[in-house]
Structure 1
Amino acid sequence: MGIDRNQLQYFIDVAAFRSINKASEHRNIAQPALSRRMSQLEYDLGCELFVRSSQGVDLTPAGKVLLMRAAAIIRQFDDLHDLTAQSDMAQRQLRIGMPPGVSLMLLDQVVRSVYRDIDEVILTIEEEDSCRLLKQLSEGQLDIAVVSRRPRREGLEAEPYFVEPLYFATREPETERGGLPFAVPDADEAFFRIAEEAMTSLGRAPHIDMKLASIASIKRLVEKGQARTLGPYSAFSGELAAGSWTFEKVENPLLYRDLVWRRQDAGSELVSLARGILRSVIGRCAEEGPPGAVVVLSA
């Protein structure tokens, strides 16, 4: 992970307060998150910066050297930002995060709408599980994200987005021989608990045999008759419409999706435009899909 401006500013704060707790209160960020950022900074630089004790922290010789240079390095970051902002060639960057299943349903329409409605923008789509997306939002690596509902993180704002059912999927109807491995995306523990609850509600063994990084890879195995899986409507909307696989709908639990952004970006024009686009896109998906497959939730 590269060292960024915020990391250096946090380091200066910790050095000034001689306390990670007091620095976290000053910056209004969670103490564990700040502690991880400082540990990451030490890892990236390959040296210890702090001597930690029950009374707080003191700087090591390496930490004192960095403190003398940190403010100047931050100014260089700011100067670089000013140069790019003043450039006639500069474009705004919009960074949107989505779980891979949601991306399969929304991506085409989101890309089309962003480049139609927002001038001079560079769009980045990050596909990760919800836990990683929330972490990236907290660290300023994303502007807005669609996530499965998770406990609220400090510094983030969220609004309900949509709810969708889960489906158990196989290529052909299962025979008595069964035995196909049950594969799911390598997501966070919250999703694994939901998957186990869903399989139990269908009267099926909830044992997970494989975890793959990509829902697309799992779908290829299912298509070849080499696996069975469980996932949201958004991941299987194409196969459901084509009737090409065998599906069992899970009535409970449902997957609740939220839109999330950083509180400090609540007034950002770009975030506001992205929220509008994402809401318009999910509205179209709800209208075009089968009744009840996607239920849009009001903000």
Structure 2
Amino acid sequence: MLHANATANQKRVAFRAGLNSGTLQRFPGAFNPLTAKLIERQGFEGIYVSGAVLSAELALPDIGLTTITEVAGRSQQLSRVTALPALVDADTGFGEPMNAARTVQLLEDAGVAGLHLEDQVNPKRCGHLDGKDVVARDDAVRRIKAAVAARRDPDFVVAARTDAAGVHGLDDAIDRAKAYADAGADLIFPEAMRGPADFERMRAAVDVPILANMTEFGKSELIDAKTLNSLGVNIVIYPVTLLRLAMEAAANGLRVISEDGTQESLLDRMQHRRDLYDLLDYSGYNAFDENIFNFRV
């Protein structure tokens, strides 16, 4: 009720334990706090805060237009309602290494379990768009080192994302992944891997946990969780899946209302009021202190 009972540090400890458990950690992207609660109820291990989703919610393309203030605010709203750890897309750190350091501390304050910083030039592009570019490896290493040095909670996870595979090829991505791990990154996020063979090579190259991005309609083959686990991948994100499902359902629903003049035929496709109230824990709020405030549903 109101806030999840787990502390930020407890979530970070759980995240690290999950990464080292030998079991694939599944982090669907939550596009609002309500979906974060639904992800937890469905038994997933964590939630992902996608930069592409946050941009889309603001009706903006994912080209580096959002600010750290917007990302931190949304991250706090999402992490507040669930005991699950949250991993946040922090783009390039919103500037130079000092900005990356400040980004870490703001997201620590937001209560999330970790973030990932990428090696694209600033402003960045969606990792599955053409025309992106990456900074020099040494510049990216400075970002990671600044982020690691800035964290106050040693359990906060700093992940390094490399977009080099789509720019210079997999060999460069592997070289960068090694350098980022040496710089202190706890987790490597190799973006736009083409298929299992790429993950196999990345897994063999680095000793720290690795992440798979299973986003739809992109450059990566969609690989099932069992196969990812067998490849030695530690965490998989589904960043935009729930938003895409919701937007398609909303578009279809609006079309029906426009054509039929009523939503009657859509009722069996809707979340029932009782299920929404259960997810929101109306009964818990009602029982909190009936002597002060009470309502009927």
The question of a shared fold, defined as TM-score above 0.5 by the shorter chain, is answered with: no
TM-score (norm 2): 0.21
Query: TM-score under structure 1 normalisation?
Result: 0.21
Structure label with greater radius of gyration: 1
Larger RCO: Structure 1 or Structure 2 (Cα < 8 Å, ≥ 6 residues apart)? 1
More strand by share: 1
